[in-house]
Every structure is written in C-alpha cells, then in structure tokens.
Structure 1
Amino acid sequence: MKPTFRQSVLMASMMAISTATMAAATPEQVAALGNTLTPVGAEKAGNAAGTIPEWTGGLPTDAAQVSENGFVSNPFAEDKPLFVITAQNYQQYADNLAPGQIAMFERYPETFKMPVYESRRSVSMPDAVYSATRDNAANTKLVADGYGLENYKLANAFPIPANGLEVVWNHITRYRGEAFQRVVVQATPQVNGSYTIVRFNEDYVIPQGLADFTPGTMDNILYYFKQQVTDPSRLAGNVLLVHETINQVETPRMAWIYNAGQRRVRRAPQVSYDGPGTAADGMRTSDNLDMYNGAPDRYNWELKGKKEMYIAYNSYKLGSPEQQYSDIIQAGHLNSDLTRYELHRVWEVEATVKPDQRHIYAKRHMFVDEDSWQAAHIDHYDGRDTMWRIAEAHSLHRYKDQVPGYAAETLYDVLAGRYLVMGLSNEEESGYNYQHQASASDFTPAALRQAGVR
C-alpha cells in the first residue's frame, strides 16, 4: 500500500464507532481498489519477508478437478509442510499466534499441532462482486448507531474499513454465493471422543439469488436461511427459518421454528445472540454459527489493526470426501494431521459487552482474513475474563464457483475439555450446490410445515 493509505488505515484503526452515520471511503481510497489493494480491499503486495505472496487474482475456476457431485479437489495436493508448530516450540512463533491457539497447545500438549504450509492466496470472486464492492466503498454508510447499513449492495460492505464495527460488518456481508444448498453435519464429542452425528439440510439465498426476485423489493433483507434436521431420528423434521435483515434495529431478525413433534410453527426470538444453538448440547450460542452472525449491537468493537497470523487455510485435505468423519473427529480436537495452516494477514478486532447489555461472552477477540473477509479465528472470554471457547474456521475456496467458505467450523471449550464441529460434509452424497434454485415462497413460515414432513 502507498504510505498515505497505510497511515490512514493505522489512524482509523484507533477509532471507535461514535456517530450515527459514518462517511464512506474517499475517492482516493476507492481508487486503490484493484491497484495497491485487491478488489475487496486486501493488501495486494506480499510481505517484506516473502512469506506472504502477492495476490495475483486467486485460483482460476478450473484450478483442479471438481467431482460430478460437487466436491472440489485439492489444487495444492503436492505441498508438504514447511514446519509443524507444537506445544514444545510454539513460543518461537507466538507473535503470529492467537491467544486461543496458545491455549490449545497448553490444553492438549501431546496431541494438538499446527502443520504450516506455503501461503497460497487462493481467494477469487466474480466480477459482479468486485463491482458491487467498489460501489460499497464509495457509498455504503453505517446508520442506526452503526447497526444498520445504507446504500449497500451484494457483498463486502466496507472494503476499506475505518473501525472495528465495519470489519465485523464485512464478515457478516462477505460473499457466500447468491444461493446454495448443502448437507452438513454437526458433532459435539464427549471428553473420551464419543459423538453422535446431527445432520442438516440447509438453504441459503440472498434476495438477488431468488428465481422470482424483483429489484426494489426485500430491500432490508440480507439473506434467507433454512435449516432442516434430518438425523438423529428424535430430532428429524425440525426446521428453522431465518430472515436476516440489514438494519436489525429497524427490523430485528425474524426467525421461526417448525417442531415436528408438535406439528406447529412458532416464532423463535431465542434464535439470536446467546440463545442456544440448534442441537448443540449447550456447546454453542446462536451467534456462534458461521463463526459470528447477527446484530452487533451488544458489543463495542475496537479495531486493533492488522497482523500476520497462522490461520487454517486451503483446508482441502480436511474437506475431502476421502476422509471419514471418524478420521476427523477425535477426542479433544480435530485430527491435526488433516489440518493445514498458512501465514496470512488478518484484521484484529476486540469486542467487549456494553455496560447496559448482557451476553455470556463478555469479550470476543476476532481475527478476520483480509482476502475473503471471513472470520478465521475468534477467542471467547467469560465474565471473569477467562479464556472459555476458541472458534477456529478451516477455510476452503470453492474455486469453480469463486466462493470462499469453510470446510469446517470448530468451537473448543478449553474449560470443559469438549468441542463442537459444524459444517463437515465429507460422507454426504454431494458437496455445495451453488446452482440451487429457490423462490421467495420457499422461505415463508407457511412453507416450514411442508419442509418438516418426515
């Protein structure tokens, strides 16, 4: 980046949100997109040490084979670990680790490790996303004390963020495709490693991805999300529907649940903030899904700046259909032999609960990947400022459709010695379907009963 832009970012990193409406980026900052910055706002250049490469466009759509049922092959299958970080040597890498990663080494000194590979800046997105991101940089503003957006389009609300809240909005509005359907599983292993699979059919669509979308309608909808439990049998048929809004102060998130046992649809205001996560055995909150989701109004968000950090990246081995769930899910944590870490630049944000609000997580320490705007790692602290839960996302770029995503999300409870893993699809019949066709009528409360028929 040019020095003047770097200086502006560092100055902005010390700012906290303090006004009801924040200005968009300057013309000079917008002009940096696609030049010194990538089209979504990351630093295009590599680092001085050469350990982070220059971004040159990301993976092409034909980077490797994609199976007929939608699983992507590993374009870096020949890569070997450069070194492995363990409990015995992590101190020498501590400057590039999150506190939660260090806590994992201390909690599981014999088994937890981080195989580090060559850094690959694999993320690419469609031209329409780049165009919308540029428009957002020039026009999108925070409104309603920072908890709503004005003049927002498609994805990546603030490619040149001025404060921590804008970074969080980037994670919330990051590009996940216009529509997809997936079958994924969740497990909450006991301390001894035993677990039960919970299986979900999930649909996600933004308004523009609907087959019957009409411009000018659904202006306050960020996306629709539907989640149906299909296993185990005692939960099968339960369905969750969420209408996620852009301005959650003006119109809070709307959620409904269809209970198959009762055969009724009811509103679900508990599906937000620290309400219990679906079939999670108390191991996650509603806003733990997708690393973090929902209205950010209960926290003050402080932007610490940027740092170079080892994060789970290009996790094609972990997401491969060649792996069985029993190969991946082990006592204490995922099988470290299947993970891949790389050095990348991340935005660092610290969230603390406002004095007049409540949440079971008194503090969240968030690290967001600059190339995708995906949260890569989040440390969660309880009211005593004790490290409690450590969220780690194993990213995987689905290059055929140019969509960044996750192979798995994990949430480690270092106090209880248990964890949750969500989003695995290795043993399912198909991978993500980004050609999913949906209409607005599929995401109405009336449609839930039909979706939940066993």
Structure 2
Amino acid sequence: MKHPHTLTLASLTLCLLASQAQAAVPADQAARLGADLTPVGAQKAGNADGSIPAWTGGLPTNAGKADENGFLADPFASEKPLFVITASTAAQYKDKLTAGQLALFARYPDSYRIPVYPSHRTVGLPDKSLAATRLNATDTQLIAGGNGLAQYHPGAVPFPIPKDGLEVIWNLIGRYRGDTLKRIVMQASPQANGDFTPNVLKQELAYPTGLSDYDPKAMSNILSLYREEFLSPARMAGGVLLVHETVDQIKEPREAWLYNAGQRRVRRAPQIAYDSPAAEGLRTYDDFDLFNGAPDRFDWKLVGKQELYIPYNSYRLESPAYKYSDIVKPGHINQDLTRYELHRVWHLTATLKPGERHIYSRRDIYIDEDSWQGAETEAYDGRGTLWRVAEGHANFFYDVKVPSFAAEVHYDLLSGRYAVNSLHNEEKNAYHFNLPMSGNDFTPSALRVTGIR
C-alpha cells in the first residue's frame, strides 16, 4: 500500500498541474471561426486600402494542373511586379519590412531586392483539418508551463484564437502540412562565391492520424513523425535521421535516431535539437521550418499583428524552367525569381530565459495569418547583435490544400554565407501527399532497412 502522505503529495501535484493548464477559448469566441475570422483564425476582411484582399476560401483545387513531372501550374504567371524594393528605396518601405530584410539590403546593397506583386490569399485547408481546428479552439490547453499541449486534436491549428506568444508559436509547430508527406528536395550551403554541392534528400512526415495503424492511446503524445534519408552526394548517401516529435515535450522530450550507413549502426541522437549546429554551421536544428521543437528555453512575447512584404505564392521559384544553379547565387538566392506580397503576420519575440543555454539571445518570428507558416525570422547573438535572418518562400499546393515552402533560406550576416533547403526544381514528381504510411515506417529498426546501400 502507498503511504497516505504519498497520496496527498500526488493529489497536490495533480492540482498544481491542473492550475498550470491555460483554458481554451469559450464557445462564443470559437463561434467567430468562419464568421469574422477564417476557419483557422485569420482576419477574414481585407485591409483598409484593399492592398490585402478579403479571404474568400483560398484557391480552388482546380486552379491549375500539374504537368507530367508533378509541377503545379502557376496561377499568377502573367502578373508583373507592382514595384521592386532595392537598397536605395528600402527606407521608404521600412514600416512594411522586417529588421532582417533591412539588414539584407545593407549587407548586399547591389543585388538583394524585393519584387512586390499583388496580394492573393490563396490558402485554404481541408475540411478534416478545419474540423479539428474548431475542436482545438475549445479543447486544447497549454500545460507544463506552456511546453506541452493537452486535449490536442492533431493535424490542425492548436489555438486558432491565440491569447499569447506561446499559443502562437505552438500554432506554427502544430499547423497542418498534409496527413502524410513524402518529398525529394535539394539543400545546399554555398560558399561566399556561390559554389555549392547539392545534397538531395528524401523526407517523410506523418501525423499520427494519417497512419494506417493509428492508435489514439499508444500515440497520444506523438505530434508528428519525421524521417530523412540522404540520396546524394555519395559520401553521405544512405544516412538516415528519424525524429519522433511529442505533444508534451516535458513529459517526453523529442526522440531522435541516426543511421550511419558506413557503420551500419543506429544510434540515439539527442543532439538533434535546440541550438546544435546544422547546414555546415549556418543554422541551428531548431531554425529548420523557421522554428521547431520545444519552446521551453525562451520567453515568448506576442508583439501583435502587422502588415509586411513577405515571400508568398512562390511558384516561379520552384519552376522546372530553372536549374539549382539559376537559384543558388553568391550571398543570397536569385531574388529575381522571388515573389513578395503584402500580408498580415503575427510578430513574436523570444528572449532567452535566465539560466538557459542557447547561442541566440533573442529571436523575432513573423508568422503568416492564413497558414500559420513562418515567413521571416531574425536571430541575435549573445551581445544582442543581429546575426542570422531567414525567409520562408511560401507556396500552396492547391490541388491537395497544403501550404509549404518552395525554398527556405537561412542567411548568416557575419560570414556572408547562407543555407537553402526545400528546392525541388530538378526533381521529377518530388512531392506526394497523403500516401499510405504505417507507424512501423518510423521505428529505429526500420532505419537499417532504409539506409542499406
């Protein structure tokens, strides 16, 4: 039998945990979804001067066709830029630019530019995800000091009507990216002169509800499952990374494993988190996707909403008409192939907590209101100097209603180098959504089979 004092302590602990849970919004607030707010919580109306249009449901699934190699047609191919922002004109647009974008103009005054096009609110998510988002609005709660979720319905936005910065960053972490995704993409970390070695990877992502063997009880703390295999260059081919991302990251932190093809061994990889270096030291592991992983080392403050020129509807940047060498250039990607639009974003600041360790002392993250996908970030070093800037060049797979990136670029302002990922211009049929997947595909034992060469 347990000692009576043990039972009392357990009861007190449960009460404390319950008090730490932050209540979801009441039903009358949730009723705004689909009314004055979109089904994922964005402001449905346009802005005052009409430069941001009202949301009317996003692009229809038949907005264009895919070619024989899987590349979607650009619905806006005929549009021309309204204007192009350069280093000499950036000051007059600074109220709609981030500190990071202004720093890129200062770092590359002769080549960095922002072509601004008409704004289109193209994102609309599947009914399944929207239904789960509506449930999350009244059910999902922050627990463990904001570092976990309770009563979360996966594959959907946790807090469509957020009250603070932690809820907003969890919306980025938990947003919809397809029930399952398999893609082949290229990443590169070019030298200052633009020379680069293409790294081609096969990446697979699955939400537990998208698995054929989904077990709600056994997978109750799984947010997503991720597997990544190097296909080239030859010296890296066969290496595999596996990540189990958790919902309550304090109760059960992220689990990661690496398969080394040369040694034919699977090893746990606790370093695949936080500020461990990635992409030749040009970004951290938690920089990927503009932020990922546990938010517990930072204090998150919601600055508010603002209108910014952000990369959007980047269909040209993923066109098969261009080679990787057309995009990867010295200092930054080829900005002539980019597209920026005026959109509303949520602005967060993350300040390193006292006593916690991270190479960044502060981060600013700007999140698109319609997709909850990151658009821009800034990272500051321990002295408070702006160090790194990232841009997520958003596109929208309208045929399956999934937001994604045509390219994700991380700039190191001090070294003059950058890392780019998610390019797929030279890959045929690179993206496949909602394919049948099993939880057995995402086990450590499956890595040995995947990585054999």
Q: TM-score, normalised by structure 1?
A: 0.94
* Residue segments in structure 2 that go unaligned for 5+ positions in a row: 1-18
Q: Which amino acid aligns with 2:226?
A: F
User: Is 1:114 aligned with 2:89?
Assistant: no
Counterpart position of 1:201: 202
Give the letter for the 2:435 counterpart: H
Q: Which deviates the most, 22-31 or 327-336? A: 22-31
Alpha-carbon offset, residue 431 of structure 1: 2.6
Distance 2:69 2:401 in 1: 17
Say whether 1:26 aligns with 2:29.
no
Q: 2-side partners of 1:124 and 1:67: how far apart?
A: 22
Q: Which letter does structure 2 place at the counterpart of 1:439?
A: S
**Correspondence for 1:183:** 184
After superposition, residues 69-88 of structure 1 pair within 5 angstroms as 69-88=69-88
Corresponding residue for residue 219 of structure 2: 218
Deviations 1:147-191 (A, max 9, x none): 000111121000000000100000000000010100011111111
Deviation larger for 35-44 or 123-132: 123-132
Equivalent residue of 1:112, what SS?
coil
Tell me which amino acid in the other structure corresponds to 1:330.
K
Q: Offset at 1:26?
A: 2.1
Which position in structure 2 is the counterpart of 1:378? Answer: 377
Partner of 2:89: 89
Structure 2: distance between partners of 1:194 and 1:258:
28
> Aligned to 1:120, what secondary structure does the other structure show?
coil
2:297 matches 1:282 = no
The Cα offsets for residues 348-372 of structure 1, whole Å up to 9 and x where unpaired, read as 0000110010101111001000000
In the alignment, is the contact (CA less than 8 A) between 1:270 and 1:276 conserved in 2? Answer: no
Q: Which residue of 2 aligns with 1:345?
A: 344
Is residue 2:429 matched to residue 1:430?
A: yes
SS, match of residue 103 in structure 2: helix
Please state if 1:336 is matched with 2:329. no
Q: Could you tell me whether the CA contact under 8 Å between 2:210 and 2:434 is conserved in 1? A: no
Deviations 1:308-341 (A, max 9, x none): 0000000000011111101100001010110000
Equivalent residue number for residue 125 of structure 1: 125
Tell me which structure has the larger Cα radius of gyration: 2
Does 1:152 find its partner at 2:152?
yes
Q: In structure 2, what is the Cα distance between the partners aligned to 1:306 and 1:354?
A: 24
Question: In 2, Cα distance between the equivalents of 1:50 and 1:372?
Answer: 20
Q: Counterpart of 1:289 in 2: which secondary structure? A: helix
Which letter maps to 1:62?
A: N
SS of the aligned residue for 1:181 comes to strand
The CA deviation string for residues 94-148 of structure 1, in whole angstroms up to 9 with x for no partner, is 0010000000000000000000000000001011111111111111100011100
Whether the aligned pair in 2 keeps the contact of 1:70 and 1:433 (CA below 8 Å) is no
Shift of 1:435: 3.4
Q: Secondary structure at the match of 1:257?
A: strand
Are positions 1:171 and 2:185 aligned together? Answer: no
Counterpart position of 1:16: none
* Alpha-carbon distance, 1:71 to partner: 1.8
SS in structure 1 at match of 2:318: coil
Measured after TM superposition, the shift of residue 228 of structure 1 is 0.4
Give 2:257's aligned residue.
256
CA–CA separation in structure 2 for the residues paired with 1:128 and 1:69: 28
Secondary structure of the 1:32 match is coil
Task: Give, in whole Å, the separation in 1 of the partners of 2:31 and 2:300.
Answer: 27
Aligned pair count reads 434
1:366 maps to which residue? 365
The Cα shift of 1:213 comes to 1.6
Query: What is the CA-CA distance between 1:215 and the residue it aligns to?
Result: 3.5
C-alpha displacement of 1:69? 3.5
- Measured in 1, the distance between the counterparts of 2:58 and 2:309 equals 19
Q: Which amino acid aligns with 2:336?
A: D
Query: Where does 1:245-324 land on structure 2 (aligned, <5 Å)?
Result: 245-277=246-278, 280-324=279-323
CA distance in 1, matches of 2:277, 2:417: 17
- Equivalent pair of 1:306/1:348 in contact (CA under 8 Å): yes
In the other structure, the counterpart of 1:9 is none
Identity %: 55
Q: Which amino acid aligns with 2:270?
A: P
How big is the alpha-carbon RMSD for the aligned residues of Structure 1 and Structure 2? Answer: 0.9
SS of the equivalent of 2:420 reads strand
* C-alpha displacement of 1:29: 1.4
SS at match of 2:354: coil
CA distance in structure 2 between the aligned counterparts of 1:383 and 1:74, rounded to whole angstroms: 42
| Counterpart secondary structure, 1:343 | strand
Task: Report how far residue 21 of structure 1 moved.
Answer: 1.4
Letter in 1 for 2:352: V
Which secondary structure state, in structure 2, belongs to the residue aligned with residue 318 of structure 1?
Answer: helix
Task: Determine the C-alpha separation between the residues in 1 that align with 2:161 and 2:68.
Answer: 38
**In 2, distance between residues paired with 1:434 and 1:298?**
33
